[in-house]
A and B are shown apart, each in its own frame.
Chain A
Amino acid sequence: DVVMTQSPLSLPVTLGQPASISCTSSLSLVHSDGNTYLNWFQQRPGQSPRRLVYKVSNRDSGVPDRFSGSGSGTDFTLKISRVEAEDVGVYYCMQGTHWPRTFGQGTKVEIK
């Protein structure tokens, strides 16, 4: 199985400051169709997950532009340019290239 490793697992941030979460896969996520199926999710306390980014860098509809995804191959990053209070929650990466699909462990973002 492809192992997805996130870091850090806990991320205290100051409001208005940037934040960055890393996700590394144990195998390249480039699919034979040429796409890289790496997604990022946000889960606020008590809520269903919400997808923020798909295929590495494509923001979902309604997602603020302070969120951005980047990376290639096995190394990926989610950046928040200026953290707001509503960004508190757990963030997960997930690969959709290989079976079985696998998630990272999650990164808990909290306000300092």
Chain B
Amino acid sequence: EVQLLDSGGDLVQPGGSLRLSCAASGFTFSTYGMSWVRQAPGKGLEWVSSISPSGGGTYYADSVKGRFTISRDNSMNTLYLQTNSLGADDTAVYYCATGYRSVGGYWGQGTLVTVSS
């Protein structure tokens, strides 16, 4: 059974940082592109970032470029999102998902990032 377990969300002050993780199981992680998608409270879905299966290709939304870094550890079957210089607009549930073209065959349960003083 495919499982994606998101973690790392927390309450953080403006300007702070968090590292989000997504632990994958039940499929050959190293052969899948992966993505992060977020959803602000009461809002729609927003694509944040994607990474190729090898990790050699990374892609970002303009709203996070230069502040967020996506990475993966294929030996640990884990996807990461390092988030820096967080602002109120980054408050959202962050989901990891499989794929980076046909995104979203599988989704994590989401992890909540709240940016507030």
Contacts and interface: CB of A to CB of B under 8 A. Distances in A.
Interface in A95-112: 96-97, 99-106
Given A39-B104, A49-B107, A54-B105, A101 B47 contact: yes
B108 A48 contact: yes
A50 B102 contact: no
A37 B60 CA distance: 18
A37 B110 CA distance: 24
B45 A48 contact: no
Contacts, number: 66
Interface size of A as a range? 20 to 34
A71 B35 CA distance: 25
B104 A41 contact: yes
Which of B35, B46, B102 has the largest number of chain A CB atoms within 10 A?
Answer: B102
A31 B100 CA distance: 13
Q: Which label, helix, strand, loop or mixed, suits the secondary structure of the B interface?
A: loop
Interface in B15-56: 35, 37, 44-47, 50
Interface in A36-60: 37, 39, 41, 43, 48-51, 54-55, 60
A103 B101 contact: no
B105 A51 contact: yes
A23 interface: no
Nearest to A48: B107
7 contacts: A39-B102, A49-B37, A51-B107, A92-B44, A96-B100, A101-B47, A101-B50
